Structure 1
Amino acid sequence: MIHSIQNETLQISVKETGAELCSIKSIASGKEFIWQANPDIWASHAPNLFPIIGCLKDNALIYDGKEYATPKHGFIRNNSDIKLLDKSENKLSFVLQSNDNTRVLYPFKFEFRIHFILESNKLKVVHQIINTGNSEMLFNLGAHPAFNCQLNKNESYNDYYLEFEKNETLNTWNLTEGGLIAEEGEQILNNENQINLHPEIFANDALIFKNLKSSAVSLKCKKSDFELKVQFKDFPYLGLWAKPNAPYVCIEPWIGIADSADTNREFENKELIQKLPVSEMFTAEYSIEIKE
């Protein structure tokens, strides 16, 4: 089932399965800003990443001496146990409570809530993680929205670029063939703030950044005044990715990262692991603001 809301500027739609954002449309122009999940290229729109990001070494985490085969990017993605929690004029909320299915993959009891809130030309996405168990809860959290890059017929992928709010000096991090974090890679920005998109920019997989000064990045086009700004102040890491030669780009705010190639696989030692006390709530938000 797909749930939709709209205001005077934007219409959004979210799939109940996975609580996955699947559409952001302009009311004025009818343009679709979210990648429409062409199965021949990449069959997702904007997966939610929890309780891990990326791949685990040997495809499992270790906690309290036991292995859990948590899948890549976690189990929110494509999860059919997620339910609509609330729907109002400007807000959609969804919830997943831990159950027998999640406990096979992940040892903690939890409630995962996600809220999509429309405010004028901005969509706020608010995550709430509640520890409903009787021990400290460990997790990572991330987002994976994919944005269309050819909004008009006279444009090509090469006309689009990403602009950080501050000048950055950034290296990416290399990935092994198994999707694990290896050594620090090539320099992408040297006191600059723009990354030009081109069909082969992701030929070696994602660009992964850890030491950002910026808490926002904008997708822009050289041929128009279009701007799609992703603000991610609650997320210290950022991934950029698309399938090579595909007309979209994923802007991925992360609290966490894939396992490193040399990890001991103990979940409590995972990079940027969050530790949530019993009965407490963790909140993290990012937003998507669109100007045409």
Structure 2
Amino acid sequence: MITLTNTQFTATVNPFGAELTTLTRRQDGREYIWSDTTGKYWGRHAPILFPAIGRSNDDQYVVDGRTYPMHQHGFARDFEFTDVTQSRDDTVTLTLHDNAETRKLYPFAFALTVTYTLTVTGLAVHYTVANTSAQPLPFALGSHPGFALSQPLDQYVVTLTGAKLPLTKFGIGPVPFRNGKVEPLTAADGASLPLSHELLDDGLLIINAPDATSATLASKDGSYKVTLSLADFPYLTLWSPEHKHAPFVCVEPFHGLPDVSGQPTDWYQKPGNTTVAPGGQSDFGYTMTLE
């Protein structure tokens, strides 16, 4: 594990998947990132989703007329990021390069780099996807942090700043695929969405919010607040394990979308995907402001 520290927070990052595993406020020991010590709910913490988000039809996708296998949420979360640089106590940079195993799933040369930097208000996360191959590189990128909750889920609200109203969501069905529709988010009250397990028991909720600048998860009593900046991420997903009443919720910035239910999708044509030219790169970042 890699440890980060500054005057306000500590964090740990696992080089396997470059996954943020803890983010702790020093003054009172409050832990913001979920950890399943019981093994009942979800064994991850904040995985990186690359080069796919969600599950692919038949666990496959298409590039240039050829079909390749792809696991749910891609493969980055299941590989060691072997290139690690830590020059300061509060920052670490980790890179995953393509290798023989990734090329069986994804026929491209690439470098996926993530930098975590503790700030006085929380954490800054920056991703770079570099195309080192000779053909255009199609991908989706998402962050999947789970936030530990000390109260029942129905005591929390997610509020989007800057989003076009009324809020809309992508239709889901069958879970975990999209149904191809964009639907009203009828549970929302303006830009705010009261949370509950009933709201999420039918599967993930993907909010279509390309104009949103941030999303805040806050307790109704004012004792807890986490704000994620969203300028680089047009979609925000909410998830908690279905029908388990788990004491955490994932608030996930997405730059990409799950498949619409049907046939394997051509990634050069898939809505939500980014395509980077040979020799180019794309950068994405967000901050967690913790109160």
Q: Determine if the TM-score, normalized by the shorter chain, exceeds 0.5.
A: yes
1:35 match: 34
Contact 1:172 1:208 (8 Å CA) reproduced: yes
Structure 2 residue identity aligned to 1:192: G
Kindly state the Cα deviation for residue 194 of structure 1 after the two structures are TM-superposed: 1.6
CA 1:279–1:86: 2 relative to 1, 3 Å: farther
Contact 2:213 2:229 (8 Å CA) reproduced: yes
Alignment of 1:132-211 (within 5 A): 132-150=132-150, 155-166=151-162, 168-177=165-174, 179-182=176-179, 183-188=181-186, 192-211=190-209
- Determine helix, strand or coil for the equivalent of 2:193: strand
Q: C-alpha deviations, 1:152-209, integer Å up to 9, x for none?
A: xxx4332221122246312322322352210334523566122122232211101111
In the aligned structure 1, how far is the partner of 2:154 from the partner of 2:176? 27
Structure 1 residue identity aligned to 2:178: I
In the aligned structure 1, how far is the partner of 2:200 from the partner of 2:268? 31
Q: How many residues align?
A: 286
- Determine helix, strand or coil for the equivalent of 1:25: strand
| Unaligned runs of at least 5 residues, structure 2 | none
1:236 match: 234
Q: C-alpha deviations, 1:225-270, integer Å up to 9, x for none?
A: 4211011210111111111311111111111101112456211111
2:8 match: 9
Q: C-alpha deviations, 1:53-104, integer Å up to 9, x for none?
A: 1011111111122211111110011213544233422201111110100000
Segment of structure 1 superposing worse, 137-146 or 256-265: 256-265
% same residue: 25
Structure 2 residue identity aligned to 1:201: L
In the aligned structure 2, how far is the partner of 1:5 from the partner of 1:69? 36
Contact 1:217 1:230 (8 Å CA) reproduced: yes
Structure 1 residue identity aligned to 2:288: I
Segment of structure 1 superposing worse, 98-107 or 77-86: 77-86
1:26 match: 25
2:123 match: 123
Structure 2 residue identity aligned to 1:26: R
In the aligned structure 2, how far is the partner of 1:279 from the partner of 1:166? 34
Contact 1:49 1:73 (8 Å CA) reproduced: yes
1:98 match: 98
1:251 match: 251
Structure 2 residue identity aligned to 1:65: G
1:107 match: 107
1:45 match: 45
In the aligned structure 2, how far is the partner of 1:79 from the partner of 1:255? 21
2:260 match: 260
In the aligned structure 1, how far is the partner of 2:67 from the partner of 2:200? 32
In the aligned structure 2, how far is the partner of 1:118 from the partner of 1:199? 31
In the aligned structure 1, how far is the partner of 2:211 from the partner of 2:253? 14
1:217 match: 215
In the aligned structure 2, how far is the partner of 1:158 from the partner of 1:165? 21
In the aligned structure 1, how far is the partner of 2:263 from the partner of 2:236? 21
Contact 2:174 2:261 (8 Å CA) reproduced: no
In the aligned structure 2, how far is the partner of 1:82 from the partner of 1:178? 34
Q: C-alpha deviations, 1:130-166, integer Å up to 9, x for none?
A: 111111111111110010121xxxx433222112224
For normalisation by structure 1, the TM-score amounts to 0.92
CA RMSD of aligned residues (A): 1.8
In the aligned structure 2, how far is the partner of 1:62 from the partner of 1:171? 29
In the aligned structure 2, how far is the partner of 1:268 from the partner of 1:158? 40
